[in-house]
Structures are given as C-alpha cells and as structure tokens.
Homo-oligomer: A and B are copies of this chain.
Amino acid sequence: MLEARLSQGSLLKKIVEAIKDLVQDANFDCNDNGISLQAMDSAHVALCSLLLRSDGFEPYRCDRNLSLGINLNSLSKMLKCSGNDDVITLKAEDEGDKLTMLCESTAQDRLSEYELKLMDIDSEHLGIPDQEFDCTVKMSSSEFARIVRDLASINESVTISATKEGVRFQAAGEMGKGSILLKPNGSVDSNAGQGTSIRLSEPVMVSLSLKYLNNFTKAAPLSETVTLNITNDVPVLIEFAVGEIGYIRYFLAPKINEEE
C-alpha cells in the first residue's frame, strides 16, 4: 500500500493546477523512490514529467510499485476541498481502485477524507533521455510568465535566442513585433531569487509555441525561478522546482520554421 503524508498540501494543489490543462488523465507511479508522472498532452506535442521524492513526505511508505490512474480534473476538484494550510495524506491499497486523501487542517479541529475512483490508463512508457543542453537560462518564473503572456498577443510563436550577452524573446505578427532582452546578472548555480543567469556552451535559437508555453507557466506559483534548457533543434526542457521535494519538467519540440 501507499501512504504519503505531505505537510504542505498546497504544493499538491499547485502541481495539479500546473498539469491539468495539459493532461486529462495520467498514471501516478508510486514506488520506493517517490511519486512520479509522465504524460504527453492530448495533441502529443508536449511532454510533462513530475517527480516528488519520497523524502519530501513524512512519513512515506510504498511497499509495492503502484500505478494510480487518475483523472486530473477530478483530482483538482477534490484538492479544492482542502485548505491551503492543510496537511494532506495520500493512501492507496495495493489492489484497490481508489485513492484516499486525508486532509488535516493545521488547527486540527477539522479532519476530512476524500476518495477518488481510479481509472485504468494505458501508459505508453515515455523514454525521456537525460541529456545535456547547450544553454541553460535561469530566470524569474513570474517574469517568464509575463513575457510569454505579452508576446502571445503578437503572434503564436516566440523565438528565444541566447548568447552570453543575454536572452532575447521575439515575436512578430500582423500588427507589429516585440522583442524583450534580459541581461544576465547572476550565476545559474546561485539561488538568487531575482535576476537572470545564463550558462551556455553554444549560442542557441529556437522557435516555440506560445500557447504551450503559456500552459507551462501555470507552474509558476510553485517556484520563484524557472530554468530553460535549450539546444538547437531538440525539444527544450523547462523546469520548475517543486519546493525542495522534486520538480515539474515540460518538454516542447521547437517549431521547424524558425525565424532566422
């Protein structure tokens, strides 16, 4: 059986909000290492990968590998029934067909329990290569969200180009064009909340769908910063940390007709 107690239940709420617009149904794979999820969006364009390490839960117990098929919309509705300060415990029997969610309000005068029916979901296993990228940009997640939203009013795609001088976001459409340049002012490895940092071995330039990027920025409430990992002509990896306990990663293939 699975039993995983998360003291910061709001993390779970934010995670589901960050995924549910991209993926309808997905398997939460639970094992000794933690809980993970991989899924593609319905158009099979973007890929989303979630990891919550076991040591982020206290306690965490998972005797046997479980694959919990969950409708994310239902889970989202259920999580809306929990308070932001609640401690949430997830439980599932080995052969059960339901996920149990226990919410303890921190004031401890309230204990709620919800059950979600599980589904059978075909999980094409997605081999996600663990690759190196030519360029890694670390920046404020809210600023990234702002840029993506702004440029979406100009065109459907954005060209992101990075050199050691900075990272530039450009879009051009019917009514005109827009270009935002962020200059680096920190190290990728530092935890400085503000500012932009760039590490690169090669200058890169990719063109990406703003609709998908906008979807990805639903994860911005999870983390102050986001990292953009870019190599020309391969899918970009956009990662948001989930507190100290894991991450959400999005992969998106660049558009073929890049602006040059």
Using a CB–CB cutoff of 8 Å, the interface residues on chain A facing chain B are 71, 74, 77-78, 80-81, 98, 109-117, 143, 150-151, 153-154, 174-183, 185, 195-196
Measured CB to CB, the nearest residue on chain B to A111 is B181
Whether A71 pairs with B175 at a CB distance below 8 angstroms is yes
Cα-based distance from A80 to B183 in the complex (angstroms): 22
A159 CB to closest chain B CB (Å) equals 14
- With contacts A81-B150, A81-B153, A153-B77 known, is A109 near B185, CB below 8 A? yes
When the two chains form the complex, which single residue of B113, B115, B179, B183 contacts A109, counting CB atoms closer than 8 Å? Answer: B183
Residues of B near A151 (CB, < 8 A) are 81
Cα-based distance from A225 to B235 in the complex (angstroms): 54
Cα-based distance from A196 to B151 in the complex (angstroms): 44
Measured CB to CB, the nearest residue on chain B to A103 is B180
Whether A114 pairs with B153 at a CB distance below 8 angstroms is no
Residues of B near A112 (CB, < 8 A) are 178-181
- With contacts A109-B185, A182-B109 known, is A114 near B177, CB below 8 A? yes
Copies assembled = 2
A-B CB contact pairs (8 Å), 30 listed:
A71-B175, A74-B175, A77-B154, A78-B178, A80-B153, A81-B150, A81-B153, A81-B154, A81-B178, A109-B185, A109-B195, A109-B196, A110-B180, A110-B181, A110-B183, A111-B181, A111-B183, A112-B178, A112-B179, A112-B180, A112-B181, A113-B178, A113-B181, A114-B177, A114-B178, A114-B179, A116-B175, A117-B174, A117-B175, A117-B176
Measured CB to CB, the nearest residue on chain B to A186 is B109
**What would 12 more interface pairs be, CB under 8 Å, given A77-B154, A113-B178, A116-B176?**
A74-B175, A74-B176, A80-B150, A110-B143, A110-B181, A110-B182, A110-B183, A113-B179, A113-B180, A114-B176, A114-B179, A117-B176
Residues of B near A175 (CB, < 8 A) are 71, 74, 77-78, 116-117
Measured CB to CB, the nearest residue on chain B to A175 is B74
Whether A78 pairs with B114 at a CB distance below 8 angstroms is no
Q: Nearest 7 pairs between A and B by C-beta?
A: A81-B150, A74-B175, A116-B176, A112-B180, A114-B178, A115-B176, A77-B153
When the two chains form the complex, which single residue of B74, B115, B176 contacts A78, counting CB atoms closer than 8 Å? Answer: B176
A117 CB to closest chain B CB (Å) equals 5
Measured CB to CB, the nearest residue on chain B to A73 is B175
Cα-based distance from A113 to B167 in the complex (angstroms): 14
Cα-based distance from A176 to B97 in the complex (angstroms): 11
